[in-house]
Chain A
Amino acid sequence: MKDNVLLSVKNLSVKFKTLDGMNTIIEGNSFDVKKGEVLCMVGESGCGKSLTSLAIMGLIEKPGIAKADEIMLDGEDISGYSEEALRKLRGNKMSMIFQEPLTSLNPLFTIGNQMDEVFRLHRKMDRAECRKNSIEMLRFVGIPAPESVYKRYPVALSGGMRQRVMIAMALSCRPKLLIADEPTTALDVTIQRQILNLMQSLRKELDTSIILITHDLSVVAEMADRVIVMYAGQIVEQADVRDLFKKPLHPYTEGLINSTIRLGEKCERLKTIPGTVPNNENMPKGCRFHPRCPFATDRCRNEQPQLINVEGREVRCFRYEGSEN
C-alpha cells in the first residue's frame, strides 16, 4: 500500500436478498482515498453511491450483504471486522454525516447530551471534560453562542445549525476519514454555501480525508480533488476534478456535465441524456449505459466493458481501448 493512501477498497459488492433471489446493487468496485483529499462520488439516484459509503462504515443491514476483498483503513483491513470492532472505529477513526440533519439527531436529548456521548464512548472522558470539548467543537464549526446551543434541544435549531452540529459531532474525535452523504441537499442555497465553506476550511485545518457523496455536479466542481462517477452500481469514471470537467471521457459523465445548467448562460435547449436510469430488476446486458449512449455499438450491447487506465485516470468504456497505459 502506498504511504499517502488512507483508505483502499478492493472489489466491493453489495447485494440484497429479495423475493426473486439475490439482487446485486453494487458490483466489484475498487478505489482509494488519499490522505487529506476530498473524493467526490457523484451519480444519480440508485447508482449505489450511498450504499458504498454505508458498506465502508459497516452499516449495511439485512437483507443487504456487503462483501469486499479488502477495505484497508489507515493500515488495518476492516473488511472482516466484527460489529463490535467496527463500533470502536465509527465516530472515532471514521465518521459520517447524513442528508437529513433533522432525523439524525434524537429529539429527546439536548445537543450537549448527544455530543458528550461521542467523547464518553471513544475518549472515556468525564462530564466536565466532555462538556468543555463539546462546546469547543461547537465553536469550531462556527455556531454562535455555543454554551447556550449546548443546552438546547434539536427542535430549537434551524436545518443549517443542525447540520453544523452533526459536523461537529462527526469531527469530535478528529477522524481520519469523514463520509458526508449529501450533506447539503436538504438545505437552502444560502445555507448550503455556508456549510460548503465550513467544510473547506475545516479540511484545511484538520487534514481529514473526506468522501463527499452528491448528485450535484456544481458541488463536485467546488469541493472535489478527485471524482468518482457512478452509474447503475458501477464506477464508470475516476479522475482528477479539473481533468474530468475539462475533458470527460465516459459518455455518461459528458452527458451529466452537459445537462447541468450554468447560471447566467442563455441557451435555447438543454442537452440531455435520453432515457432513464435502469432499475436493478432489469439491468441491460453488456454496458449498463448502452441504451442511453449515443456511441453504443453491438459490442456495447453484448459485452461488459472493464475499467481501464487512460492518462492516469480510469474509465469504463470500449472507446478508450488501445489508448490505455
Chain B
Amino acid sequence: MAGVQKEQEYLLDVRNLKVQFPVNSGLFGMQKQFLKAVDDISFQIREGETMGIVGESGCGKSTVGNTIIKLIEPAAGEIYFAGQNITKMSQHEFEKIRPQMQMVFQDPYSSLNPRKKVFDIIAEPYHVQTKLSKAEIKERVLEMMSLVGLDASYADRYPHEFSGGQRQRIGIARALALHPKLIICDEPVSALDVSIQAQILNLLKELQEKLGLTYIFIAHGLPTVQYISDRIAVMYLGKMMEIAEVDELFAHTMHPYTEGLLASIPIPDPEQRDIDEKPVLEGDLPNPLNLPKGCKFCSRCRYAKDICREQEPELREVTKGHFVCCHFPLQ
C-alpha cells in the first residue's frame, strides 16, 4: 500500500497538528478561551536530516518540540515516529519509544539539577530506562563524556563549577545516553556566549555525522539555524509560513514574513551597512487571543491585499520541496 510506504519513508511525520492552551479570563475565570499555540501544521523529516524551525517569541516553535516528545498533549492531529502513530499511544506504550527521542534544552543552568554530580546527571537515563550494572553504567557515562568532549575528571563535580558551554555539553551527553534517533534541540545555543555557540554547533554537527542523528533544531536566530539545518521551517503565530531547503530559502524567498525576517538580521560587516535601505517589518505581533481574520501575517505585511484580510491561505508546494503559506508568493 502506498500510504504505508510513505509513512515509513520519514522518521517523523507530523500531520495537521494542533495544540491549544486554555486561558482563563473574565471574573473568576468563567470565560474559557483557547490560545492556539500550534495551529494545523504538517511537516516531515527524513532520517539523518536536520530540520530547523525559526520564528519569533510566541510563534509556537517550542510547543511543537514539546508536543513531539509528548510533554504536551495535542488537541488534534497525528504524529508518526518511525511509522508508528505516537499520538494514539498511552504514556505507558510510549515509554518503549521514548528512548529514541531526546531533547537538549535552552538554559544550561536550569536544565541540570544543581545538587547532582555530573556523573549522576548523565547516568540518570540508564537508571530510569535500563537494568545495567554499576560498572556498565560507569563505562557508558565515561564514553558519553568523551564523545561530547568532557574530561573524565569532571564526573565528580557539580554543575555550578562549569561554564554555560560545558553545561550544555553535559546536557547533550545526557540526551545521547540512550542512543536516540531523533534529538530535539530547543534553542540550545541562545543562552551561550558567541565563541561558545560556535563550539556547541560544531559539536552537534560532528555528533550527527558520527552517530547518524536526526535533529529538530528550534531557534529564533536565523544565522544559527541556517548553519546547522538542511531544511528550514519558518513559523509565525502557530502557523508554518514557509518550508524549504536552506539554499532555496535564501535564493528564492517566497513569503513576505521570511523576507522581513531576513532583512531584520544585522550583518556582521560594517562595509555593508549603508548599502541598501532594509525593508523593516512594521508593527508588533498581534495579540494571539485576538488574531486578524484571514492571513495571520496580514497586519504586518506590506504586500497585503483584500483577499489576505478575508481568507486564510494554505501551505502549498510552489516549487519542488518549497512550501509557502501565502496567496501571493514573492517571485
Which residues of A approach B to under 8 Å, CB–CB?
44-45, 158, 160-161, 188-194, 196-197, 215-222, 224, 241-242, 245, 255-257, 259-264, 266-267, 269-274, 276-277, 279
Q: A189-B261, A217-B268, A261-B224 are in contact. Are A277 and B193 (CB under 8 A)?
A: yes
Chain B residues with CB below 8 A from A222, complex form: 266-267, 270, 273
Which A-chain residue is minimally distant from B197 (CB atoms)? A259
With beta carbons under 8 angstroms apart, the residue of A161, A189, A194 that contacts B56 is: A189
Enumerate B150-185 residues with CB–CB distance to A below 8 Å.
163-166
Q: A188-B220, A218-B266, A276-B165 are in contact. Are A259 and B280 (CB under 8 A)?
A: no
Name which residue of chain B comes closest to A271, CB basis. Answer: B198
Interface centre among A193, A216, A245, A274, by most B CB within 10 Å? A193
CB neighbours (8 Å) of B164 from chain A are 45
* Interface contact B266-A219, CB-CB below 8 Å: yes
Q: 0/1 per residue, B253-283, Cβ < 8 Å to A?
A: 0000000111111111111110000101110
Cβ contacts under 8 Å, B246 to chain A: 266
Measured in the bound complex, the distance between the Cα atoms of B57 and A272 in whole Å is 28
A–B Cβ pairs within 8 angstroms, 29 of them = A44-B195, A45-B193, A188-B285, A189-B56, A189-B222, A189-B264, A191-B56, A192-B264, A192-B266, A193-B263, A193-B265, A216-B266, A220-B268, A221-B267, A222-B270, A242-B270, A245-B269, A261-B224, A262-B269, A263-B262, A263-B267, A266-B246, A269-B205, A270-B198, A271-B198, A272-B195, A273-B195, A273-B198, A274-B199
Q: When the two chains form the complex, which single residue of B165, B261, B267 contacts A190, counting CB atoms closer than 8 Å? A: B261
In the complex, whether B3 has a CB less than 8 A from a CB of chain A is no
User: Is B250 among interface residues, defined by CB-CB distance under 8 A?
Assistant: yes
Q: Are A221 and B268 in contact (CB under 8 A)?
A: yes
Task: Point out the residues of chain B lying under 8 angstroms from A190, CB to CB.
Answer: 56, 260-261, 264, 280-281
Which of the residues B193, B224, B267, B284 comes within 8 Å of A191, measured between beta carbons? B284
The minimal Cβ–Cβ distance linking A154 to chain B, given in whole angstroms, is 15
Q: CA–CA, A160 to B201, complex, Å?
A: 29
Contact with A along B1-16 (1 / 0, CB 8 A): 0000000000000000
For the complex, give the distance between the alpha carbons of A189 and B57 in Å.
10
Closest residue on chain B to residue A270 by CB atoms = B198
B275-304 interface bits toward A, Cβ cutoff 8 Å, 1 = contact, 0 = none: 000101110110000000000000000000
Q: Which of B193, B196, B263 has the largest count of A CB atoms less than 10 A from its CB? A: B193
- Pick the contact of B265 from A189, A215, A270, A271 — CB < 8 Å? A189
With A160-B284, A193-B278, A270-B198 as contacts: A257 and B268 at CB distance below 8 Å? yes
CA of A190 to CA of B266, assembled, Å:
10
Closest CB pairs A-B (n = 6): A218-B266, A193-B264, A259-B198, A188-B56, A44-B193, A273-B195
| Interface contact B163-A277, CB-CB below 8 Å | yes
Which residues of the other chain, B, contact A267 by a CB distance below 8 angstroms?
227
* Interface positions of B (Cβ within 8 A of A): 56-57, 163-166, 193-199, 201-202, 205, 220-224, 226-227, 246-247, 250, 260-273, 278, 280-282, 284-285
CA distance A216 to B195 in the complex (A): 11
CA distance A260 to B194 in the complex (A): 7
Contact in complex: A189, B220 (CB < 8 Å): yes
Q: How far is the CB of B241 from chain A (nearest CB, A)?
A: 13
> Are A276 and B196 neighbours in the complex by a CB distance under 8 Å?
yes
- Complex CA gap A47/B179 in Å reads 38
Q: Which of chain B's residues has its CB closest to A245's CB? A: B270
User: Is the beta-carbon distance between B281 and A276 smaller than 8 angstroms?
Assistant: no
Taking a contact as CB atoms under 8 Å apart, the answer to whether A221 and B269 are in contact is yes
Residue of B nearest to A268 (CB): B205
Q: Could you say which of A190, A217, A219, A255 has the most chain B C-beta atoms within 10 Å of its C-beta?
A: A190
A143 to chain B, nearest CB (A): 11
| Shortest distance from the beta carbon of B219 to any chain A beta carbon, whole Å | 11
Q: Which of A218, A224, A257 has the most CB of B within 10 A?
A: A218
Q: Is A193 in contact with B281, judged by CB distance below 8 angstroms?
A: yes
Which chain B positions have C-beta within 8 A of A191? 56, 284
Contact assessment for B163 and A263 in the assembled complex, using a CB-CB cutoff below 8 Å: no
* A residues near B266, Cβ cutoff 8 Å: 192-193, 196, 216, 218-219, 221-222
**In the bound complex, how far is the Cα of B104 from the Cα of A316, in angstroms?**
38
Q: Which residues of A contact B196 (CB under 8 A)?
A: 44, 276
Known pairs A44-B194, A190-B261, A216-B266; A261 contacts B223 (CB<8 A): yes
Contact A197 B280 (CB under 8 A): yes
B157 to chain A, nearest CB (A): 14
Please, how many angstroms separate the alpha-carbon atoms of A264 and B263 in the complex?
12
Q: Which residues of B contact A224 (CB under 8 A)?
A: 270
In-complex Cβ contact of A221 among B56, B226, B273 (8 A): B273
